[in-house]
Amino acid sequence: MSRYEASFEIDSKTDSYAAQRILEKVYDTIREESRSVREGTDDATVLLQEFKTLRDAAKHSTAGELTITYEQYDREFDD
């Protein structure tokens, strides 16, 4: 398994706005993709709720850190 991580320090209003835009884009993309692939499933509902929570938290202009982690598994997709 490979692991990739990117961290963004949020210490200005500009940084906060950038983090907010990143999370809005991710939320919108996941919402659209899950609508067409797994509409109404529990997995899609939980995933969307988790990203909605992140997106809403980023709306408050406060200092912090945004860390994105991608773990790549050694197996293929189950189709």
Q: What is the pLDDT of residues 12-70, one digit of tens each?
A: 999 999 989 998 998 888 888 777 665 556 777 888 888 889 888 888 878 899 898 98
- What per-residue confidence (pLDDT) applies to 5? 95
Mean pLDDT of the chain: 84
Is 79 among the domain residues? no
CA–CA distance, 14 with 69 (Å, rounded to integer): 22
Q: Which domain holds residue 7?
A: 2-72
Give the model confidence (pLDDT) of 61-73 as tens digits. Answer: 788 998 989 898 8
Do 79 and 9 meet the contact criterion of CB atoms below 8 Å apart? no
Number of domains the chain contains: 1
Tokens in use for 54?
């992140």
Do 67 and 5 meet the contact criterion of CB atoms below 8 Å apart? yes
Is 24 among the domain residues? yes
- What per-residue confidence (pLDDT) applies to 2? 92
Is 78 among the domain residues? no
